[in-house]
Chain A
Amino acid sequence: MNPPVPKRRREISPDQAAGSVAGSGSYISDDILFFQILILLPVKCLVRLQSVCKSWRATITSTHFVRRHLEISRSRSSVVLVPRKYQKEPAKLGSQFVNIYSFQPGQSKTAKLIFQKKFYPSGIPMFSMPLHCDGLILIPCKTGNIFLCNPATKEFVELPRGSRNVFFDHSFAFGFDTLSGTYKVARHFVRSYVDKPQIDGVGTIREYSCGHEIMTIGVGKDAWGWKATMDPPYPIKARTPICLPGFFYWSALHSEAGHGHGKVSLNVILRFSLHSETFTVHPNPPCRGFLSDNDTLSDLGGKLCYVHSASPWEIAIWLAEDGPVLDWWLCRRVRLPLPRFLRVCVCASADPDKIFLSIDAHHLFNCDLSDGSIEKVVDMAHDVLYDHGDGIKFTTGALPIAHYMVPFVESLLCIAPW
């Protein structure tokens, strides 16, 4: 008698389903169709379904649908590998591709190509560790070129160049501003510097004029550009910052004293709030006063983490409790199974007690935080089979390649919606 009343405009009747006419009154309301059924589908399928009709396209691309889809997608989070060739002179263009591979560490040694961008004929400049947020991957080049990519929708966009940096090395931050619900990229730059004689008359001390600017992603075309923020209180180091919801954490140079081999630097951590667009200054963890080339700032399951490596065979993992001040505590000391050459990066895994250790972006291990035990996952250079799905399969072997491992969730987020 009274079939369920559809909540919204369109009644969808399956009566004409091939060969299965069920008689009267079967409807699915749009709300259920989109937000309980279609929301479960992978991105590739949803891209295809955008052409079913105009109203489907409008709903699937709506902010509400995209966000709900992302929430569900998070339960299927994974990692991607982004290999990068080493170049002696980073200013030179090198690799002709950016390849992004899906990877299941510990389950399979095959990395499947999910996205490829060709840079013909010139190539892409050398990039450093890619950053991920909600399905978008930011590829920061040392030259200041910067690319943002959604491998699931295949959108790949070069962001505009920011203000001039008198130094060569660039680094960028990328994350979600919980208050405005937008994605933001930040960069730092040095406008100028002067070398002034030290008070004791021996050697010089360098004084910098530094800037910092941000750009909002996914909004209108008129907002597509860099906007200056307040200047950072100390010069920011060109190292990959850590981006947690609402905040970017940069390492900065607080002061320098002495000269030559006796030179002592003191670093601090600058926390940039995406909401207030201001910096607060926080100390390095007590283990080391400066971010050495062998240490890394990291994101470990949403917490700010400092990986201190005092010698090639060991690391100490420090975590900071967030709050008005960063409260550092030593989480675990780990003896490495093989010596690191440069750095060890950490990355959370699906198991909260276990993390991944990537030694020199080359050797991948699993580390149990409860007892510090280590298990080999894969030697990325010799054991990971990069598979392009078209018959091309290779391992990189001894080539000088960094195998960057980046967390990833599939999302429908659009970078340049016009």
Chain B
Amino acid sequence: MAAPESGDGNNGAARMVTLISSDNTRFEVEAAAASLSQTLQLTILDGGGGGGDGIPLPNVDSATLSKVLEYCIKHAPAAANGGAPNATAVDRAELERFDNEFVNIDQSVLYSLIMAAHNLEIEGLQSLVAKKVADMIKGKSPMEIRRTLGFPDPTPEEQAEMNAHMLEYGWAYE
């Protein structure tokens, strides 16, 4: 039942798995990092993804997947400790610095990332990106949000409704 060649990473080299993006790029990554994804974890525990097989991810393109894996590799050691007491303040500060920089990217990449994190069930990445996008939305007016999200211009009727709302709830626009 156990994958004999992997040796479960008990000694020597860590077990590696291969992930294949929607555009057929192959990524080789430590099983521990890929296991941050709840979805992949099950497959990997079953011995999948090793050898030449690889796990196909038809919903994630290579640009997004490489970004997702960057996150997983950085967070894998802390996740392996289960946030254990030996995680020092320095380690935590370093992860925080990484996270802040990590989400400092183009909106469209953020959107792809949150969808991928959702499909792969990577909780930490989901909430990190959600928080970033929420912060970006926070200060925006309804009109700016429509533009950002690519909605068509409001019809005269919609525009009238928006104006009426702004009159009634002026305090929310201050």
Q: Tell me the minimal C-beta distance from A188 to chain B in angstroms.
A: 36
Task: Assess whether B148 is in contact with A17, with CB atoms less than 8 Å apart.
Answer: yes
Chain A contacts of B137 at CB under 8 A?
37-38, 41, 45, 49
Q: 0/1 per residue, A35-49, Cβ < 8 Å to B?
A: 011101110110111
Task: Assess whether B148 is in contact with A28, with CB atoms less than 8 Å apart.
Answer: no
Near A by CB (< 8 A), chain B positions 138-160 give 138, 141-142, 145-151, 154, 158
Known: A4-B115, A15-B108, A20-B108. A48 touches B173 (CB 8 A): yes
Task: Assess whether A12 is in contact with B150, with CB atoms less than 8 Å apart.
Answer: yes
Whether a CB of chain A sits under 8 angstroms from the CB of B114 is yes
Task: Number of A interface residues at 8 Å Cβ cutoff, please give it.
Answer: 38
Task: Assess whether A51 is in contact with B162, with CB atoms less than 8 Å apart.
Answer: yes
Chain B contacts of A37 at CB under 8 A?
114, 130, 133-134, 137
Contact of B134 among A13, A15, A28, A38 (CB under 8 A): A38
Q: 0/1 per residue, A13-32, Cβ < 8 Å to B?
A: 11111101111011111001
Chain B contacts of A26 at CB under 8 A?
108-109, 111-112
Query: Which residue of B has the minimal Cβ distance to A7?
Result: B118
Task: Assess whether A44 is in contact with B172, with CB atoms less than 8 Å apart.
Answer: yes
Task: Assess whether A20 is in contact with B146, with CB atoms less than 8 Å apart.
Answer: no
Task: Assess whether A18 is in contact with B108, with CB atoms less than 8 Å apart.
Answer: no
Query: Which residue of A has the minimal Cβ distance to B135?
Result: A40
Task: Assess whether A28 is in contact with B23, with CB atoms less than 8 Å apart.
Answer: no
Whether a CB of chain A sits under 8 angstroms from the CB of B41 is no
Near B by CB (< 8 A), chain A positions 137-194 give 154
Contact of B146 among A13, A21, A50, A52 (CB under 8 A): A52
Whether a CB of chain A sits under 8 angstroms from the CB of B70 is no
Chain B contacts of A48 at CB under 8 A?
141-142, 169, 172-173
Known: A37-B134, A38-B134, A47-B172. A18 touches B162 (CB 8 A): no
Bound complex: CA A44 to CA B141 (Å) = 12
Task: Assess whether B116 is in contact with A154, with CB atoms less than 8 Å apart.
Answer: no
Chain A contacts of B59 at CB under 8 A?
2, 4-5
Chain A contacts of B8 at CB under 8 A?
none
Whether a CB of chain B sits under 8 angstroms from the CB of A398 is no
Chain B contacts of A202 at CB under 8 A?
none
Whether a CB of chain B sits under 8 angstroms from the CB of A53 is yes
Contact of A52 among B112, B115, B145, B169 (CB under 8 A): B145
Bound complex: CA A15 to CA B161 (Å) = 26
Whether a CB of chain B sits under 8 angstroms from the CB of A1 is yes
Bound complex: CA A5 to CA B22 (Å) = 13
**Residue with the greatest number of chain A CB neighbours at <10 A, chosen from B126, B141, B151, B158:** B151
Near B by CB (< 8 A), chain A positions 80-138 give none
Chain B contacts of A2 at CB under 8 A?
22, 58-59
Task: Assess whether A22 is in contact with B119, with CB atoms less than 8 Å apart.
Answer: no
Bound complex: CA A320 to CA B163 (Å) = 53
Task: Assess whether B23 is in contact with A18, with CB atoms less than 8 Å apart.
Answer: no
Task: Assess whether B115 is in contact with A14, with CB atoms less than 8 Å apart.
Answer: no
Task: Assess whether B142 is in contact with A29, with CB atoms less than 8 Å apart.
Answer: no
Task: Assess whether A12 is in contact with B149, with CB atoms less than 8 Å apart.
Answer: yes
Chain A contacts of B61 at CB under 8 A?
1, 3, 25
Chain B contacts of A25 at CB under 8 A?
61, 112
Chain A contacts of B166 at CB under 8 A?
51
Contact of B107 among A20, A47, A51 (CB under 8 A): A20
Bound complex: CA A29 to CA B22 (Å) = 19
Known: A22-B106, A28-B114. A40 touches B146 (CB 8 A): no
Bound complex: CA A40 to CA B115 (Å) = 17
Contact of B106 among A20, A51, A53 (CB under 8 A): A20
Chain A contacts of B92 at CB under 8 A?
none
Contact of B23 among A1, A49, A53 (CB under 8 A): A1
Bound complex: CA A217 to CA B58 (Å) = 48
Chain A contacts of B165 at CB under 8 A?
50-51
Chain A contacts of B108 at CB under 8 A?
14-15, 17, 20-23, 26
Contact of A51 among B118, B131, B151, B161 (CB under 8 A): B161
Q: Tell me the minimal C-beta distance from B156 to chain A in angstroms.
A: 14
Bound complex: CA A51 to CA B154 (Å) = 11
Q: 0/1 per residue, B115-134, Cβ < 8 Å to A?
A: 11011000000110011011
Bound complex: CA A38 to CA B115 (Å) = 15
Task: Assess whether A28 is in contact with B111, with CB atoms less than 8 Å apart.
Answer: yes
Bound complex: CA A390 to CA B130 (Å) = 34
30 examples of A-B residue contacts, CB within 8 angstroms:
A2-B22, A4-B59, A4-B119, A12-B111, A14-B111, A16-B150, A17-B108, A20-B108, A22-B107, A22-B108, A28-B114, A29-B118, A37-B114, A38-B134, A40-B130, A41-B137, A44-B172, A45-B138, A47-B172, A48-B142, A48-B172, A48-B173, A51-B142, A51-B161, A51-B162, A52-B142, A52-B145, A53-B146, A53-B154, A154-B171
Sorted nearest first, the 4 A-B pairs with minimum C-beta distance are A22-B108, A51-B165, A16-B150, A26-B108
Task: Given A15-B150, A27-B111, output 12 extra A-B contacts at Cβ < 8 Å.
Answer: A4-B112, A5-B59, A12-B149, A18-B148, A25-B61, A28-B115, A41-B137, A41-B138, A48-B173, A49-B142, A52-B145, A53-B154
